[in-house]
Structure formats: structure tokens, C-alpha cells
Structure 1
Amino acid sequence: MPLFKRNPFGHYLFIKKWLIRILGAISHGRYRKFNSLQIEGSDILRNLPDKKVLFISNHQTYFADVAAMFHVFNAALSGRDDSIKNIGYIWNPKLNIYFVAAGETMKSGILPKIFAYTGSVSIDRTWRAAGKDVKRQVKNSDISNIGKAIDDGWVVTFPQGTTTPFKPIRRGTAHIIKTYKPIVVPIVIDGFRRSFDKKGLNIKRKNVLQSMVIKEPLDIDYENDEIADIVTKIEYAIEQHPSFLKVLSPKEAEEYMKEEEELNEKRKFWSN
């Protein structure tokens, strides 16, 4: 790799590689030591092309979700089956991985700005700004930048645009899918909200069952599927359709919490 080679956004790849190595080494214990991330679907990742792939996922923290995906993606591409054991995979990471994030989040401090260099495609949210609800037009430059990232590699997006569960899917994701026609791979995560704070920087609780399930690519007719059809497919694929939302009675809630504690106890003895 030429020393001063850049990606389409002007970032030097050798700087990006070293940042991923350093941040990967720092964050690895969050998914292997304090909590053990359970993974399904690594074989699906190895069968994907190098470019034109869009990952859609539910969202639980600002940064821990994406960091875990960087680990899982690179571990899978290095031949590991549903495991991030032995961090050597991070030495030669895939450099054309990007993630869509709110611009104000990625500019909120030195650490987010460093994270942004590892692959952020920053956008201005049309519905939320500075903690308040807003209504503004989509910036064409934001859409084109997401398209640029898709054309160059793998892109992770959180189509609800929030860490709050069961919020509506933003139709913009469906428009991007119809426009750029990527392979769309759903990911369902769980446990991150319980183990990290909202930003995903601080460990809130140890020995929590974390999981990441990579599903088969969605079957999408880019020409004939309506936007609403694609939105519905996304809702079901990332398990955020209202039908997944179950209102628990007090007794059911108590049983659920008991099952969670039992799973966490079992998790202590699991190993990858």
C-alpha cells in the first residue's frame, strides 16, 4: 500500500490502519474479557464482495456497536468462525469499512473525531439536532457521500437513526438502497445497551450476554419494490417491526429478568 494513498474521503489509509489497530487493541477486552460477545453468521461475511455492501442494524449505543462490528468483520475475513479470539486479525484490517453517523455526534469531542477518521460518513440528521426535534431537508451531499462509501466498500447504517428501540425506520435508507443497489445484509445486536453507557464508551455492567447475528442478504427487487416495501423488509430483518414488541405483564417481566440472570450466569462459563 502506497504510504500516502487516500480513500475517497481524503483520509490517509496508513493513518486509518494504525487508528483501527490501536482502537481495536484497546476495545477488544470489552467483548472478550468484561463481556463475551456471541456471534453468528461469520461465514456470510466471507462470502460477500469487497464493495457495494450495506449493513443495516438495530442500534443500542453510539460507538460500541460499530466497534464490535469492526472486530467481527475483520475476524471473519481472517478466517475465524463466529469468534474474535486472538486479536491478530486487527493487524491487517479491511480499510474500506464505513459507518453512517450523525455529524454532531462525531464532532462532539476529540475521541469522536478520532473515531470518525476510522470510517465515519457523517450526515446532518433531518429530524433531530442538538437534542431537539427539527424538520429540515436532506442534504444531497450526505446522500452522495453514502453512495460514494457504498461504491468503495462496506457501509454500516442504523436505519432507525436512534438508539431507542422500535422507533420507525427512516425512509432515506430505502431510497439509498433503491438508488445505489447494494447487497443489503441485516445485523441484529443485543446486550450492548445493558453493558455500556449510551455513548458506548464506559462499561456499565460486566458479565452481560452480548450477541451479534449476521443474517443472509435481503431479497430486494431494486426496480419494482416500493419504498414502503423495503422499509417493511428492513423492520422485520433487524427485528424492529412492531410485531416484535411484546408488552409483558408483571409476572412475565419477573420471569424474563430471571431468565436473563440465568443466561448471564451461564455466560461466565462460555468460551469461544
Structure 2
Amino acid sequence: MGLFKKNPFGHILFLKKWLIRIMGAMTHRRFKGFNKLQIEGSEIIKELPDTNVLFVSNHQTYFADVVAMFHVFNASLSGRVDTIKNIGYLWNPKLNIYFVAAKETMKSGLLPKILAYAGSVSIERTWRAKGEEVNRQVKMSDVSNITKALDDGWVITFPQGTTKPWKPIRRGTAHIIKKNKPIVVPIVIDGFRRSFDKKGIRIKKRGILQSMEIKKPLDIDYENESVQEIVEKLEYAIEQHPSFLKVIPEKEIEKEEELNEERRWRY
């Protein structure tokens, strides 16, 4: 790899490698130390092609979710199954992993800007800006950038577009799937909301069992399935379909949210 070789977004790969190494070393104990990350299904990662893979997941914090996935993906690629033991896997990380994030979030401080360089595909949200509800058109440059990232490697996206549970899937994700025909790998996470603050930076409580389940790629008929059918398939896959509320009483979810808010100020 040339010293100044760049990815399609103009980021110098040598610098990106060192950012991932340093940030990975700094965050490792957040998932194997202060808290314990229980992983299931990571053997799937090593079987995936090098490009055009879309990971879809529920969302619990701005940054910790993505950082954990960087750890798990690279550990799996180096031969570790369902474990991030021994951070030697960070020495030669996969450099073409990207994640979709709100441009507003990734410009909100030094750390987000560093994380953005490590792999963010920053987009303008069409439904929310500066804490207020908006309704604006999708920028075609944002769609093109996601396509560019898929052409170059793997992309992580949180199709609900929010860290709040049980919110509807954004239809834009289904349009991207129909357009690019990627391999779609669902991920279900839990425990991150209890471990960290909303941004996923400050440790809120230690000793939390976090979990990450990597499921088999979805069987999608790109040509014949409608956007709504794909949306519903994604909702079931990341366990955010409204029917799950019949299994988990809404009062229990509200109680959990209240507890999380209380912990926000206690820890």
C-alpha cells in the first residue's frame, strides 16, 4: 500500500489505518473489560465478499454501536469466532468498512470528525435537523456516496435513523438495496443503551452484558419485491417490527427508557 494511497472519498489509507488502530486500542476495554460483549454468528463475516455488503442494524448509541462492529468484523476476519480477545486483529484492519451517519452528527466535535475520517458516509437527514422535524428531498449526492462506498467495500447502516427503539424503517434503505443489490446482513444489538450515554462516548454503567447477533444474509428478490416488502423484511430481521411489541409489553419498554434516562444522570 502506497504511503499516500487514497480511498474513493479522498481519505489517505495509511492515516486511516493508524486511526483505526489507535481508536480500536482505546475502545477495546469498553467491550471486553468494563463491559462484556457477547457475540453470536461472527463466522458469517469471513464468508462475505470484499465489496457490496450492506449491514443493517438496530441503533442504540451514536458511536459505540459502530465501534463495536469494527472490532467484531476485524476480529472475525483475522480468524476469531465470536470473540474480540487479543486486539492484534487491529494491526491490519479492513480499511473499506464504512458507516452511514448524519452529517450534522459527524461535524459536532473533534471525536466525531476523527470517526468520520475512519469511515463515515455522511448524509443530510431528510426528516430531522438541529433537533427539529423537517421534510426535505433526498440529496442525490448522498445516495451516490453510499453507492460509492458499497462499490468499494462494506457499509453499515441503521435504517431507523434514530437510537429510539421501535421507530419505522426509512424507505431510503430499501431503495438503496433495490438499486445496488448488495448482500444484506442483519445485526441485532442490545446492552449498548444501558452501557453508554446517548452518544456512546461516556461509560454510563459497568458490568453490562452487551450482545451482538450477526444473522445470515437476507434472501431478497431485488427485481420483484416492492420497497414496502423489503422494509418489512428489514423490520423483522433487526427485530424492530411492530409485532415484537406483542412479545415485549410497551409498558416494559417505557419503563426501560425511563431507567435509561435516570442512569444518564446517575453515572
TM-score w.r.t. length of structure 1:
0.91
Residue number in structure 2 paired with 1:65 = 65
The corresponding residue for 1:209 is 209
Paired AA for residue 74 in structure 1: N
The one-letter code of the counterpart of 1:23 is M
In the alignment, what sits opposite 2:125?
125
Q: Secondary structure at the match of 2:31?
A: helix
2:192 matches 1:192: yes
Query: Of residues 243, 247, 250 in structure 1, which corresponds to 2:249?
Result: 247
Provide the rounded CA distance (Å) in 2 between the counterparts of 1:142 and 1:248.
Answer: 35
The root-mean-square deviation of aligned C-alpha atoms, in Å, is 1.3
Q: SS at the partner of 2:114?
A: helix
- Structure 2 gap ranges (5+): 260-267
Cα deviation code 1:24-71 (max 9, x no counterpart): 000000000000100011110010000000000000000000000000
Instruction: Output aligned runs, 1:168-179, within 5 Å.
Output: 168-179=168-179
Whether 1:23 aligns to 2:23 is yes
Are 2:144 and 1:144 equivalent residues in the alignment?
yes
In 1, Cα distance between equivalents of 2:79 and 2:54: 21
Amino acid at match of 1:3: L
Cα drift, residue 249 of structure 1: 6.5
Alignment correspondent of 2:110: 110
Corresponding residue for 1:265? none
**SS in structure 2 at match of 1:118:** helix
Paired with 1:219 and 1:3, the residues of 2 have a C-alpha distance of: 40
Match of 1:263 in 2: none
- 3-state SS of 2:212 partner: strand
Say whether residues 1:222 and 2:222 are aligned partners. yes
Distance in 2 between residues matched to 1:207 and 1:248, nearest whole Å: 26
What CA distance in whole angstroms lies between the structure 2 residues aligned with 1:185 and 1:7?
Answer: 23
Amino acid in structure 1 at the alignment position of 2:239: E
**Structure 1, residues 68-116: CA drift from partner, whole Å, max 9, x if none?**
0000000000000100000000010000000000000000011100010
User: Structure 1, residues 200-227: CA drift from partner, whole Å, max 9, x if none?
Assistant: 0000001111000000000000000000
Distance 2:225 2:250 in 1: 35
Alignment TM-score, normalising by the size of structure 2:
0.93
Aligned residues: 253
Secondary structure of 2:188 counterpart = strand
Corresponding letter in the other structure for 1:88? G
Report the Cα distance in structure 1 between the residues aligned to 2:147 and 2:48, rounded to whole angstroms.
18
| In 2: Cα distance, 1:105 partner to 1:248 partner | 29
Q: Which residue in the other structure is 1:262 paired with?
A: none
Give the C-alpha shift of residue 248 in structure 1.
5.9
After the TM superposition, which parts of structure 1 deviate over 2 Å for at least 4 consecutive aligned residues? none
CA distance in 1, matches of 2:251, 2:104: 39
Sequence identity percentage: 75
* 2:50 maps to amino acid: D
Q: Distance in 2 between matches of 1:77 and 1:249?
A: 40
Structure 1 counterpart of 2:249, one-letter code: V
Which amino acid in 2 is paired with 1:243?
A: S
SS at match of 1:74: helix
Partner of 2:180: 180
Instruction: Tell me, in whole angstroms, the C-alpha distance in 2 between the residues paired with 1:247 and 1:186.
Output: 24
SS in 1 for 2:67: helix
Deviations 1:132-179 (A, max 9, x none): 000000000000000000010000000000000000000000000000
Spell out the pairing of 1:87-102 with structure 2 (5 A cutoff): 87-102=87-102
Q: 1:249 to 1:159 in 2, by over 3 A?
A: closer
Gap change, CA 1:208 and 1:141, over 3 Å in 2: same
